[in-house]
Amino acid sequence: MKSVAVIAIFDIGKTNKKFFLIDEYYKIVLERTVNFKETVDDDGDPCEDVDLLSKWVKESLKEILALKKFDIKALNFSTYGASFVHIGHNGDVVAPLCNYLKAYPEDLKDEFYAKYDGEAGISRETASPVLGNLNSGMQLYRIKQRKPELFGRIKYSLHLPQYLNYLVTGGFCSDITSIGSHTQLWDFVKNDYHRWVYEEGIDKILAPIFPSDDTMDIEIKGRNYHVGAGLHDSSAALIPYLASFSEPFILISTGTWCISLNPFNKNPLTVEELNKDCLCYMEFHGHPVKASRLFAGNEHEIQTKRLATHFKKPIDQYKKVKYDVDLVNSSTTLRAKVGSNDMLMQESEFGKRDLADFTSYEEAYHCLLLDIMSQQQASTNLIIQDTGVKRIFVDGGFGKNAVYMNLLASAFPHFEVFAASVAQATAIGAALSIHKHWNTKTIPGDMIELKYYALAQKMEVQ
């Protein structure tokens, strides 16, 4: 029996660690998922257990390479961002991985921005709001200033995708999708590391940049494999859409955050946009992708728990709610359209509403989604601008929510609005990024499943 040609992908989320084999038609032929308990860093704060992760990657790779039914041509990696693994001069990990949710010292933050001409300037030049440890470059600044002995022991600090590459290849590299995504390391104006990186000597512990669409060749037990440098997960998830559509589009990636991504917006970020939680990700060819963020998935989770308690319904009752134009236009939910979107709030207006005003769970839920949509419209409008976009794709949880999707179609009546789904988009994106190195077949045109939402009734979410 002839073995199946595949690429192996490690796709590492903060909760789920996944391993895939993907065939030449971009179908997943093997999938494994594990979860690990967190450990603590040297301050006692929770963080990723790098030792457990490393052991699992090595064992999974050894096991899969031994399978006769698959012919592994290449490997690549996608992981969550804003996370460095620090490698010492002896090749070992010398410090815990810092959790990007960890609080950043306020005095050190103030010192840094005072030294480098203020938050507004650096944020604009690096295309990132001030986000503490979520600006992964600030993690390196903290080590240099607060733990100089540790800083001296670091040979290279590798973003997590490139650490996985290191586990397989033994080589050191950096990748532009990790460097360019809300790190405050990269100057988008100069297309180089920001001056503070050089002045602090941080550049000396950043490995050489390796192209995201190229591979390294390694030999394992007499067989050659092509290995990619690894990708930031948000950038990887965009690749199937870039491979499938040439006309300008916006992708709203929904989960805990709703992130509107516009790969066709070439306008520099303004201070006003940064203040409204806009930033730039980096596309895998090194092009900025303007994005706006909204904490809508988190707000939806909080408020649906509140609804379930008040109306004595199951926690997931919202999944049974069908879109109802009459409820959208009811006297109670019409209040959701009143207000200003000049300031994007991370909490919707719904949290301030008295649930006793609603006659049913369904009416209240429509009002919640109208409140969220009011914010979503404002957030997405920030990145549309003069880009000729006519299509909006929505992936993730809200793409399966008929109330959200119909309201989105109403909020953007001059756009074609689609719910879109790609099975394991980040893993597929990581495979696509190095397609030419392992796959001789044409990229299939049916990777993305689309459902069109027509405008049900003319209305405007203000």
Confidence of residue 103 (pLDDT cuts 50, 70, 90): very high
Q: Is the pLDDT of residue 459 over 50?
A: no
Q: How far apart are CA 430 and CA 245, in angstroms?
A: 17
pLDDT at res. 462: 41
* 4-60 per-position pLDDT tens digit: 999 999 999 988 999 999 999 999 999 999 999 999 999 999 999 999 999 999 999
Question: Residue 362 and residue 320: Cα distance in Å, rounded?
Answer: 9
Q: What is the pLDDT of residue 458?
A: 45
Residue 423 CB: number of other CB atoms within 10 A?
16
Name which residue leads in pLDDT, 328 or 456. Answer: 328
3-state helix, strand, coil in the chain (%, to 5): 40, 25, 35
Q: Which pair of tokens denotes residue 229? A: 């440098």
Q: How far does CA 407 lie from the centroid of its chain?
A: 24
Task: Categorise residue 82: left if φ over 0, alpha if ψ from -120 to 50, beta otherwise.
Answer: left
d(CA 362, CA 382): 30
Characterize 286-309 residue by residue with b for buried, 16 or more Cβ atoms within 10 angstroms of its Cβ, and e for exposed. Answer: bebbbbbbbbbbebbeebbeebbe
Note the pLDDT of residue 378.
Answer: 93
Alpha-carbon distance of 427 to 202, in angstroms, equals 30
pLDDT for position 256: 82
Q: What DSSP string runs through 250-279?
A: EEEEESSSEEEEETT--SPPPHHHHHTTEE
Phi, psi of 32 (to 5 degrees): -135, 145
Q: What average pLDDT does the segment 232-248 reach?
A: 93
- Sign of the C-alpha dihedral computed for residues 258, 77, 288 and 118 taken in this order: positive
Secondary structure letter of residue 134 according to DSSP: G
140-148 mean pLDDT: 97
pLDDT band for 348, please (50, 70, 90 cuts). confident
Distance CA 461, CA 336 (A): 8
pLDDT band at 278 (very low <50, low <70, confident <90, very high): very high
pTM: 0.88
Judge whether 426 and 284 are in contact, CB under 8 Å: no
pLDDT at 334: 63
Pairing of strands 70-79, 4-12: parallel
The tokens describing 46, both together, are 């929770």
Average pLDDT over residues 235-241: 94
Print burial letters for 93-116: b (CB count within 10 Å at least 16), e (below 16).
bbbbbbbbebebeeeebeebbeeb
Q: H helices of 312-421, where?
A: 325-328, 361-384, 402-411
421, pLDDT greater than 70: yes
Angstrom distance (rounded) from CA 175 to CA 187:
15
For residue 76, the model assigns a pLDDT of 98
Residue in 209, 207, 206 with CA at minimum distance from that of residue 196:
206
CB atoms inside a 10 Å sphere around CB 274: 20
The DSSP 8-state label assigned to residue 26 in this structure reads S
What whole-number percentage of the chain has pLDDT above 90?
A: 83
Is the predicted pLDDT of residue 339 greater than 50, yes or no? Answer: no
CB atoms within 10 A of CB 150: 15
Contact call for residues 20 and 76 (beta carbons, < 8 A): no
Per-residue confidence band for 343, with pLDDT thresholds at 50, 70 and 90: very low
Question: Using CA atoms, how far apart are residues 361 and 180, in angstroms rounded to an integer?
Answer: 43
- CA distance linking residue 143 with residue 162, whole number of Å: 20
